[in-house]
Amino acid sequence: MPTLPDLLFYALAGFTLLFGFLCVANPFSRNPVTSAMFLVLTIISMAGLFVLLQAFFLAAVQVLVYAGAVMVLFLFVIMLLDIKEEERRRLNKAALGIGGVAVLAIAGLLVRALVQATPLASAAGQRAEGSTKPLGRLLFTEYLLPFEILSVLLLVAMVGVILLSKKEMK
């Protein structure tokens, strides 16, 4: 008899996959805005998965950053560029081949990670951090370097955008 969290996990995982599929390959609509909306639903389902892991902080950040800020910026760009419904293009054989290889490689990585992962029972002792303080402490001590590198990456992207979008001064 599956427990309620189990059922919720399967439901949310199913929703994530379903909405993710509808986001990239919606058979009913080729409109980019529809895709973006399905991406929002995907992100919200993923936030639900975080809640199931007791990681409320991560869930809130997921909704705040991705569903809130990033998606709205996507929609903003779509609105500004006035993108029409995408036409169905014929499949490019070379692209299909490369895409297939990439999918296989990622699937291989995932399988490898799953095989090497410690079983859930032994990991139960160190549950996903729900409270904010341990997360902050980890970010600013153990994972300080990756954290700072990520910030620099974002800064580089920002500077690049300003450089590209700024009109040349006379």
Partner 1 sequence: METLDQIFVLAKHWLVARVPEPLAWLATILLSIGPLITVFASCFAITTIVERKALGRIQNRFGPNRVGPFGLLQPLADGLKMLIKEDLVPAQADKVVHLLAPFALVVPAWLTFSVLPFGRNMTVIDLDAGLLFFFAVGASSELAVFMAGWSSRNKYALMGAMRGIAQMISYEVPLVLSTVAVVMSVGSLSLPSIVEAQSAYVFGMPTWHVFTPWGLSGFILFLIAGAAEANRAPFDLPEAESEIIAGYLTEYSGFKYALFFMGEYLGLFAITGMGITLFLGGWTAPVSFLATTPSWFWFFAKFGAIIALFIWVRGTVPRLRMDQLMKFAWKFLVPLTLVNLVVAAFWHFSGTWQFPGAIFARWLLGAGFIGGAYVTLGRALHTNQFPPRVYAYAE
- Please report the beta strands in 53-148, taking only residues with DSSP state E, as ranges in sequence order: none
- Please, which residue, 73 or 158, has the CB nearer to partner 1? 73
Report the nearest approach of partner 1 to the CB of residue 58 (Å): 9
Shortest Cβ 162–partner 1 spacing (Å): 13
Residue 40 burial (CB < 10 Å; 0-12/13-18/19+)?
A: buried
Nearer to partner 1 (CB atom), residue 3 or residue 116: 3
Measured from the CB of residue 136, what is the shortest distance to partner 1 in angstroms? Answer: 10
Backbone angles phi, psi at 55, to 5 degrees: -100, 75
- Contact residues toward partner 1 (CB under 8 A) are 33, 37, 40, 56-57, 60-61, 63-64, 67-69, 71-73, 75-76, 79-80, 130-132
- Calpha distance 166→170 (Å, rounded): 12
User: Which lies closer to partner 1 via its Cβ, residue 65 or residue 102?
Assistant: 65
Nearest partner of 58 among 50, 66, 67, 48, judged by Cα = 50
Q: Report d(CA 132, CA 54) in Å as an integer.
A: 12
Q: Give the side-chain half-sphere CA count within 13 A for 68.
A: 8
Question: In this structure, which amino acid lies at residue 150?
Answer: L
92 or 132: CB nearest partner 1: 132
To the nearest whole angstrom, how small is the minimum distance from the Cβ of residue 145 to partner 1?
A: 24
d(CA 91, CA 54): 43
Nearer to partner 1, 18 or 37 (CB): 37
* Rounded least distance, CB 130 to partner 1, Å: 7
